[in-house]
Amino acid sequence: MSLNFIKLLTRKAPELPEGCTWINSAEPLSLQKLKWHVVILDFWSCYDKNGMNSLPLMSAIASKYRKDPVVVIGVHSSKASARRPLGNITSAAQAKGIRYPIVVDKGMRIWHRYFVTEHPTTVVVGPNERIAFKLAGECSLEQMSRLIDDAMDDARRSGTLARKRISIRMPEAKSRPGNLM
């Protein structure tokens, strides 16, 4: 664990930057909006096989905790994404059946703020807006669930967990000319 990451653990988690493109969310999300929730940031890239391997796990987590104050956010971080179309990211997410919000991390600002070094990396931010844990590499649904359950239990004990999950609206489907509705 780097010294910079250890310093990061002692302060409030870095906010998600404004001006990013969002997929599967009608509006930009922020840690401030998601206060009182456990927020799972999954760093992946559609240009990286290891990063793509985390998507089924994160979909399972999003499904398992869909009624709890737990929000999964995919963070698509890749040097290549600045040079390639947004459609590549959207297509990869659709192909894997991703329904949770994805923020496109152009310029890898979120990646650097969280001292991420590899795909996949998962960062869990507790309801107190502090990092609960960071995990580089792949893990199982059971392992990830145990860590999330621990973060929720700690938040319940301290009275910082929302009673119900925030509603995240999907973007409106755009009709294409020539399509009959």
Question: Does the pLDDT value for residue 17 go beyond 80?
Answer: yes
**pLDDT tens digit string along 87-100?**
889 999 999 999 99
pLDDT band at 48 (very low <50, low <70, confident <90, very high): confident
pLDDT at 67 over 60: yes
Residue whose pair of structure tokens reads 């990646």 in the numeric block: 111
Is the sign of the CA dihedral 146, 148, 150, 153 positive or negative?
Answer: negative
What 3-state DSSP class applies to 35?
coil
What pLDDT does residue 2 have? 54
pLDDT above 50 for 61? yes
Spans of all domains in the chain: 3-158
Residues 87/54, Cβ–Cβ less than 8 Å? no
What is the overall mean pLDDT for the chain? 87
Band (pLDDT 50/70/90 cuts) for residue 7 is low
Q: Pull the structure tokens for residue 1.
A: 């664990």
176: pLDDT confidence band, cut at 50, 70 and 90?
very low
Between CA 24 and CA 76, with CA 96 as vertex, the angle to 5 degrees is 55
Q: Given pLDDT bands bounded at 50, 70 and 90, which one contains residue 177?
A: very low
Residues 6 or more apart whose Cβ sits within 8 Å of residue 164:
69
Q: How confident is the model at residue 180 (pLDDT cuts 50, 70, 90)?
A: very low
pTM: 0.88
At the second CATH level, the architecture of 3-158 is 3-Layer(aba) Sandwich (3.40)
% of the chain beyond a pLDDT of 70: 87
Mean pLDDT, range 83-111, rounded to an integer: 90
Cβ partners under 8 Å of residue 16, min gap 6: 28, 29, 30, 31, 73, 103, 110
